[in-house]
Structure 1
Amino acid sequence: MRKTVSLKFRDIIKANFPGLGKNISYWKFMRHLLFGRRDKVTGLPMISQRCIAKAEDKLNILENSNAYNASKFLVKFQSEVMSEETFSWSGWNFKDGESRVALVEFPQEVIDAIESESYKIMLKDRVYFDTGNKFSDKLQKVDRELIKKEAYTYFNFSSPEAQDLLEYMNNVPVNSFSKVVAANLDATFLQALKIENPEKRHVQLEVLSTIRDELQPFYKPSDKGNTVRIFPLNYSIPMLQKDLRKSITKGWYEFDLASSQLAIVGKTWEIPEVQEFLKSGGKIWAELINHYGIDAANLKKTDEAKYEDIKGVLKDSLYSLIYGMCKNNLIAFLNEGLLPFGVKDAGKKFLTHPLMKSLFEAREAKIAELNEADTAGTIFNKVIKVAGDKTKDGKPTAARKECIRGIMAQQAQAVELYLLLPVLDLAKTTKDFAITLWQHDGFSVNFNSEGRKDRWINKINQVVADRANELGIITKLEGGLL
């Protein structure tokens, strides 16, 4: 979420909401309403208990006791800054763990100002929204340290396997980001302005505005601690869509594990058809696109954006197939996802591909195997309880099947991290390069030494290849200079 705005914009907010006064908590919360995360379905501002506690500077109370009451703050904000007619909120959904959403009606002058502000990136009169203070490198550093401090409050939730990774990624020197952002931000911003979908454009512009203010990403573990994966804490480069991410990180190297999830389950679930396909050098996305009668190679060459969109649907579908989505839902998802590209009956056709048929059969066998177990383990020797009951005929209930699906994902994600950890070990031995982004099955690198770059690239590729060979998983790093 952006930190700075034009002085003119802040003055408009101040004039329309005099109740903000000098209350920093109110200003912080107003910034969240204006620029914070939106619900994907309704487009309304999401106001989690954590974001409200953060505005009040009461995260310590929230984290260390059950005494924090977000509703009290919302009631005060409503009465002193807005009104019942212009500001209200939904209830917290404890069952689904969903955040509140805010129902806000802004005056037309504010709506117009928000729209105008969204299209500004480099502001000469930048001020901090919360305080009105002029932007400075010194205050920017203070903000980064506060975000970093917040990141450490999540460490209690993290799995031991991810601790070193979190520690490293949250301590990457800021100059690894400042140069690349300064060089590429303007061009990336102009590229984002061309996004046709207004909601996507709004989100991406907000991310870019936040990168301008904060520069680097910080990471946190899963809130529930049920995966070794780590996630961006703040609006930052990993949250940009692929083309914008590549634009703003031009000059870095990006590495990805080839067909990582397919390769992992191909070995761990012992699927010979998948192993043979990967051993022969097969590319799964091209294979599936060709399966629909579309020339994948030609499409990638002539319309890379369309290729990536189709690949995105197929990637989600493959992962959904692997981790237990029922047939009917998978078919419906594919039918809807590929119809805009002229593909009819995409779901049923997807499941006729020999590799997908083998995957489905192996998945069902894995679910049955886990259903008979009391516990399961990951490659890091973490023991996970198989929770939930069975039906009278021994089948898993919906709750047990959901648990099994989660276990299967945890197991594969643990292998994914295990494959890449040698790169982290390598990075900790040198200042010649820094890992600048971490994206589950891939990462980006900023090389500080041009003369030793090629040697390090070879080492990075080799340590992952050695780990993959050790496990018998047919994958390798792909990628290169952005």
Structure 2
Amino acid sequence: MADQDDRKQGRTEVDLADSRYSDGKVTPDTRIGVDEEGIFLYEKEGSSFTRTGERPDKRRSPDERPEDGIEVGFDGPADLTSYHETNWLDRVAVSQYMVEVTERHYPPIKKHLPLRLLLQYLLFNRHVVKYNTTWDGEGSPLPGTMLSWIAGRLDQYRSNNFRAEDMLWWAKDELFDGAFAWTDWKPHPHPRKRRPRRLKDVSIAPDVKDAAEWELKHPIEQAPSRVWFDNGNVCTRQSVSDCRNALSQSAQTYGAEVFGQKGNPEVPRAIQTYLNNLPVDGFNKVIRDHSEEAYAATQRLSDESPDGDRDLGVRHARATLQAVETCPKPFYEPKLRTPRLFAPRSLQLLNREVRATLVQDWIPLDLKSAQFAICARKWGVGPLLDFLEGGGDIWDELTSWMDLPKPALKKALYAITFGARAQWTAGRPPSTLNNALADEAGLSPENADQARDKLMNHPLMKKLRQARNRRIEEIKSKGQIEDCFGSVMTLPSQESGDGSRENTVLTLLAAESSAIEMQLLWPAFQEVIGQEKRCKIMLYTFDGIYIKPADPSREDTWVEKLQEAVNEEANRLRMPTTLELET
């Protein structure tokens, strides 16, 4: 972030206590600036600015030890059954050798649980994290919420009575002999938030690094014995069951709280209840039958990538597969800012190719061009509606136009429907779109920008973007939306209750279409609820489902039954989409 005095020109300074930001609220038009004095916020069309912090380079460097010393010897969390208080870690089952070699090189982890958990994150859990690098920076995140939870001081951290950085300095001294570096946290447009510190460098003992790489590349069944990394105890059936039950209880408790804040929407609650009550046997079976094939699929991803095993997508696939192997059954949770249900570090979020190998005995069904169909109808994009209703395939059309693979276009175009910038603004490229094309199609930054420009010049994409921008202005004007389940989401300037402080107009834009996506799939769930002995929906993937009929001879019957139910709902809602066998 460069110095930009000109952003204050003609604006009057307003103290934070007297400003619109005093309660921590920002708007979609809030901008952040930096000058020789520090950080300030202002509105794009406003006449004032407000200082919210010192200039970052005036703060102590992350390489400088705190002058008042550091606190060490934290006790860590009291309960390891599941890590339900943090989204950054999961329990990891590994070979006995993995624990032995790690304890040999890092003896303090035998005595200090927090150091052990931080090392677990660095070796395994951080690879599951997919972060928006254009917003949050490079390197694995080291958020204060995770560090304080690891230390057993989450409550103190939330009340600003714990310095999370002390955990890093303690690890630097005890584990890495100084060979551990991180970036400082960065400012955030929201005055009560920060972008987390990032891992800059860490030196892991070669034997430990090799052992961790082996774990990520092989099914746990290939290990002579199986133990929990966080305590070294044998991974018994009972301890696995305890972990699964804790995850289930956490999802239920948290889900009830979130649904309560959203007005207790009936359909999302019913879908969550159905999915989380599925028996575990079917999930355990896919691991028993196909885990080796799934790990082989991750190796193919590595072989196909120029970065090999260092490819972030490969590492994410392997770490997620490891989490799935530890707890095969997904447990879904609602979120305040979206109608969608999420099952962290599960089959739901596993790389598509790896997942297809693992659940090859299930039948995948998805909504054809769902987001385009929904947005075309909701935003009134006439040419796109005509194209889809006439039987046009948007992916065939755009892959032909672009000469790029569908996965790259799908990731980019979903970003457009969810509000990502499509053009350069104030000298900054539309990074979300460009990165999607670059990552999925292997394009250079320059070629990705050219591809993005070509994509946005397709006649249908022009109309889609224009309609999206109109809808964004409508949401700004109204200040809220009410989705098809009756849940109301408001912008900060219009908020009337908890849960909307962090909403943006793009949050509301995405939530609106995501709710309809779930509404379209609901008839499929209605068909199988109470019929679990005949057919189950095993997995929910936002715009699709995986099913498993009990009788293989009736697979076609169940596919047709669910397709008919969903397609009837799509016709009722006048959405030009159908439920199709995924190819």
CA distance in 2, matches of 1:334, 1:74: 36
Matching residue of 2:536: 434
Amino acid at match of 1:12: V
Compared CA separation, residues 334 and 290, structure 1 to 2 (3 A):
farther
Partner of 1:449: 551
Contact 2:334 2:342 in 1 (8 A): yes
Change (3 A) 1:387 1:71: closer
2:539 counterpart SS class: strand
Partner of 1:275: 385
Q: Deviations 1:26-68 (Å, cap 9, x if unpaired)?
A: 4333212211124655774434445446546677x589x7477
Question: Given the superposition, is the C-alpha separation of residues 25 and 425 from structure 1 closer, same or farther in structure 2, using an over 3 Å criterion?
Answer: farther
Structure 2 counterpart of 1:289, one-letter code:
T
What residue in structure 2 maps to residue 460 of structure 1?
Answer: 562
**SS, match of residue 154 in structure 1:** helix
How far does residue 384 in structure 1 lie from its aligned partner after superposition?
3.1
Distance 1:50 1:157 in 2: 20
CA contact 1:36–1:45 (8 Å) conserved in 2: no
- Residue matched to 1:217: 330
The 2-side partners of 1:424 and 1:440 are apart by: 13
How far, CA to CA, are the matches of 1:76 and 1:403 in structure 2?
A: 36
In the TM superposition, what whole-angstrom CA distance separates every residue of 1:91-110 from its partner, at most 9, and x where no partner exists?
A: 55573554444453323332
- Aligned residue type for 2:288: A
Q: After superposition, what is the alpha-carbon deviation per residue over 1:210-245, rounded to whole angstroms, capped at 9, x for unaligned?
A: 2222112222223xx111012222x22222211111
In the alignment, what sits opposite 1:114? 212
Aligned counterpart, 1:346: 451
What SS does the aligned partner of 2:443 have? helix
Higher helix share: 1
Alpha-carbon distance between aligned partners in 1 of 2:243 and 2:354, rounded to the nearest angstrom: 24
Q: Which amino acid aligns with 1:11?
A: E
SS in 1 for 2:94: strand
| SS class of match (1:106) | coil
Q: 1:126 and 2:226 equivalent?
A: yes
Within a 5 Å distance, the mapping from 1:264-343 to structure 2 comes to 264-292=374-402, 294=403, 310-324=405-419, 325-328=421-424, 329-330=429-430, 333=433, 337=438, 340=443
Q: Is the 8 A contact 1:331 1:348 kept in 2?
A: no
Partners of 1:145 and 1:68 in 2: CA distance: 32
CA–CA separation in structure 1 for the residues paired with 2:113 and 2:147: 12
CA distance in 2, matches of 1:440, 1:176: 20
Distance in structure 2 (CA, Å) of the matches to 1:417 and 1:13: 45
SS of the residue corresponding to residue 186 of structure 1 reads helix
Distance in 2 separating the partners of 1:443 and 1:239? 13
Contact 1:266 1:275 in 2 (8 A): yes
Residue in 2 that maps onto 1:301: none
- Alpha-carbon distance between aligned partners in 2 of 1:16 and 1:339, rounded to the nearest angstrom: 38
Distance 1:214 1:355, change over 3 A: same
Partner of 1:35: 124
1:327-406 alignment runs, 5 A limit: 327-328=423-424, 329-330=429-430, 333=433, 337=438, 340=443, 345-387=450-492, 403-406=504-507
| Cα RMSD (Å) | 3.3
Q: CA deviation at 1:22?
A: 4.5
Output the CA distance in 2 between the equivalents of 1:11 and 1:425. 50
Q: Please say if residues 188 and 244 of structure 1, whose CA atoms lie closer than 8 Å, have aligned partners that are also in contact.
A: yes
Q: State the TM-score, normalized to the length of structure 1.
A: 0.82
Query: Which secondary structure does the structure 2 equivalent of 1:286 belong to?
Result: helix
Q: Distance in 1 between matches of 2:98 and 2:142?
A: 22
Contact 1:331-1:346 within 8 A present in 2 as well: no
Closer, same or farther: CA 163–47 of 1 in aligned 2, 3 Å: farther
Instruction: Give the Å deviation of 1:2.
Output: 6.0
In 2, the alpha carbon distance for the partners of 1:372 and 1:151 equals: 35
Q: 1:438 to 1:99 in 2, by over 3 A?
A: farther
* Contact residue 144 and residue 165 of structure 2 kept, 8 A: no
Report the equivalent of 2:69. none
Q: Is the 8 A contact 1:388 1:403 kept in 2?
A: no
Q: Does 1:6 align with 2:95?
A: yes
Secondary structure of the 1:327 match is coil
Secondary structure of 1:443's aligned partner: strand
Measured in 2, the distance between the counterparts of 1:413 and 1:385 equals 16
| TM-aligned CA distance change 1:149 to 1:66, over 3 Å | farther
The letter for the 2-side match of 1:340 is L
The residue aligned with 1:304 is none
Q: Residue 166 of structure 1 aligns to a residue in which SS?
A: helix
Contact 1:20 1:81 (8 Å CA) reproduced:
no
Q: Tell me what 2:164 maps to.
A: 71
CA distance in 2, matches of 1:88, 1:239: 30
Q: Aligned partners of 2:360 and 2:510: how far apart in 1?
A: 32
1:167 aligns with 2:260: no
Tell me, in whole angstroms, the C-alpha distance in 1 between the residues paired with 2:478 and 2:161: 40
CA gap of 1:50–1:430, structure 2 versus 1, over 3 A, is farther
Q: Which residue of 1 aligns with 2:512?
A: 411
Q: Is the 8 A contact 1:2 1:207 kept in 2?
A: no
On the 8 A contact 1:176/1:434 being kept in 2, the answer is no
**8 Å contact kept, 1:36–1:46:** no
Gaps of 5+ in 1: 295-306, 390-401
How far apart, in 2, do the equivalents of 1:371 and 1:290 lie?
A: 36
How far off is 1:461 after superposition?
Answer: 1.0
Q: For this pair of structures, how many residues does the alignment match?
A: 450
| Distance in 1, Cα, partners of 2:232 & 2:187 | 37
Between 1:81-90 and 1:310-319, the stretch displaced more is 81-90
The separation in 1 between residues aligned to 2:318 and 2:567, in whole angstroms, is 38
Which residue, out of 250, 256, 271, partners 1:150?
250
SS in 1 for 2:284: helix
Match of 1:475 in 2: 577
CA pair 232-99 structure 1, distance change in 2 beyond 3 A: farther
Letter in 2 for 1:370: I
